[in-house]
Amino acid sequence: MTGIGRGAKAGVLVRNAEALEMLEKADVLVVDKTGTLTTGKPAVTALLPAGGYNETSLLSLAAALEQGSEHPIAQAITQAASAKNLPLPKITGFTAIPGRGVCGDWEDEEVMLGNAGLVDGIDFSAFQAQAAKLQADGATVVYLAADGKPAGIIAVSDTVKANAAESIRALKMQNLRIIMLTGDAQGSADAVAKQLGISEVFAGVLPHDKAQVVKDLQKQGRLVAMAGDGVNDAPALAQADIGIAMGTGSDIALQSAGITLLHGDLSGILRARNLSKATLRNIRQNLFFAFVYNAAGVPVAAGILYPFFHILLSPIHAAAAMSLSSLSVILNALRLRRAKI
């Protein structure tokens, strides 16, 4: 891997030269929402219990279930419970369902927590209006069911990354088509997209469908860059012509990507594209330098000027020209250190 720029500020790692070259040529950028456009550090903002539950028992059961999950929503819920020092009931048979939620057993009840798709057969209609309102504010709503009955809903809110709007605007100026792809519900996705000026949104997308969206764009002849952070983004990152992982994200996402934004800073995409442009221009200039010296030197050395001017290239001058050619190439390449990226 190569680092771009000086110091930790730039924070872009490039796996190979091809990745950098492809990034500049990409015409579509597909971006994941949670952890990529948002900080991925959500907090619990609402607890709405149902049935025999109250806010405390809803939160402690949800937190007990989320203990086994690495998802940012899980962290928000477990942190909210530990901030209140809540004792957590014991859960057995924990399973995580990527892009949907988590399930397990509590005493003899089957409990599940996740998106609307996960609790499909359970009647949460009493929460419909409240859920829609929370989602319209950009919050993610998760549903907790125990023993086939609603136990309540939890709203978890994430904030958009500080410079995300600015980076998206700058990337759009470079004629890049931006598409948001998320496993979250349409309402929450639209609210975040609106804040960032993104008009194309695919919501409720399961992990393997993320890769399919990328594949479909490629079939339409697009060169696709994909930026994501989660385990659920890895297949799409691998499928994309160029994968961009957040250094703050999961290991598998990092392994699937050609470019890593160390601090998850989206402006790194812009810098990497600008650097790619500057590098390719520099390579062309260097080829020109190398070619001009040789184009001039070789015929003179071969004696083309001898019949007219009695000029031949002495070995000393030939050696000097050779070195100058290399020197100019190196000096030109070093200018990249000062490139404005």
The catalytic residues are 32
How many Å from the N-terminal Cα to the C-terminal Cα in the chain?
19
Number of residues lying near Mg ion (CB under 5 A) = 5
Q: Does 230 help bind Mg ion (rule: CB under 5 A)?
A: yes
Strand arrangement of the beta sheet that strand 224-228 belongs to: 2-4, 12-14, 259-261, 242-246, 224-228, 28-32, 177-181, 200-202
Q: Does 230 help bind ligand ADP (rule: CB under 6 A)?
A: yes
Pick 69 or 167: Cβ nearer ligand ADP: 69
Q: Does 271 help bind ligand ADP (rule: CB under 6 A)?
A: no
> How many Å apart are CA 130 and CA 133, to the nearest integer?
5
| Partner from Mg ion, ligand ADP, none contacting 140, C-beta within 5 to 8 A by type | ligand ADP
Q: Does 10 help bind ligand ADP (rule: CB under 6 A)?
A: no
> How many Å apart are CA 65 and CA 211, to the nearest integer?
29
Q: Does 73 help bind ligand ADP (rule: CB under 6 A)?
A: yes
Q: Does 235 help bind Mg ion (rule: CB under 5 A)?
A: no
Q: Does 99 help bind ligand ADP (rule: CB under 6 A)?
A: yes
Q: Does 184 help bind Mg ion (rule: CB under 5 A)?
A: no
Q: Does 250 help bind ligand ADP (rule: CB under 6 A)?
A: no
Roughly what angle, to the nearest 10 degrees, separates helices 17-25 and 267-301? Answer: 110
According to CB under 5 A, which residues from 6 to 35 bind Mg ion?
32, 34-35
Tell me how many degrees the CA angle 188-254-244 measures, rounded to the nearest 5: 60
Number of H helices, E strands in the chain: 13, 14
Q: Does 184 help bind ligand ADP (rule: CB under 6 A)?
A: yes
Identity of the amino acid at 174: Q
Among 114, 152, 235, 268, indicate the residue that binds ligand ADP (CB under 6 A): 114
> How many Å apart are CA 12 and CA 3, to the nearest integer?
6
Q: Does 104 help bind Mg ion (rule: CB under 5 A)?
A: no
**How many other C-beta atoms are found inside a 10 Å radius of the C-beta of residue 1?**
10
Mark the segment that binds ligand ADP (CB under 6 A) among 10-18, 78-86, 110-118, 288-296: 110-118
Minimum CB separation of residue 244 from ligand ADP in Å reads 15
Beta strands, E only, 138-289: 140-146, 149-157, 177-181, 200-202, 224-228, 242-246, 259-261
Q: Does 74 help bind ligand ADP (rule: CB under 6 A)?
A: yes
According to CB under 6 A, which residues from 12 to 71 bind ligand ADP?
32-35, 66, 69, 71
Q: Which two tokens stand for residue 302?
A: 């071969």
Give the residue from 102, 29, 23 showing the smallest Cα distance to 66: 102
| Partner from Mg ion, ligand ADP, none contacting 24, C-beta within 5 to 8 A by type | none
Pick 33 or 273: Cβ nearer ligand ADP: 33
Q: Does 249 help bind ligand ADP (rule: CB under 6 A)?
A: no
Among 60, 115, 239, 248, indicate the residue that binds ligand ADP (CB under 6 A): 115
Burial class of residue 191, CB neighbours in 10 A (0-12, 13-18, 19+): middle
Ranked by CB distance to ligand ADP, the top (closest) residue is 183
Kindly list the distances between the CA atom of residue 316 and the CA atoms of 132, 165, 172, 270, in Å, as whole numbers in the listed order: 81, 59, 54, 46
Q: Does 138 help bind ligand ADP (rule: CB under 6 A)?
A: no
Write down how long the chain is. Answer: 341
Enumerate binding residues for ligand ADP (CB under 6 A): 32-35, 66, 69, 71, 73-74, 99-102, 113-115, 140, 142, 182-184, 230, 232
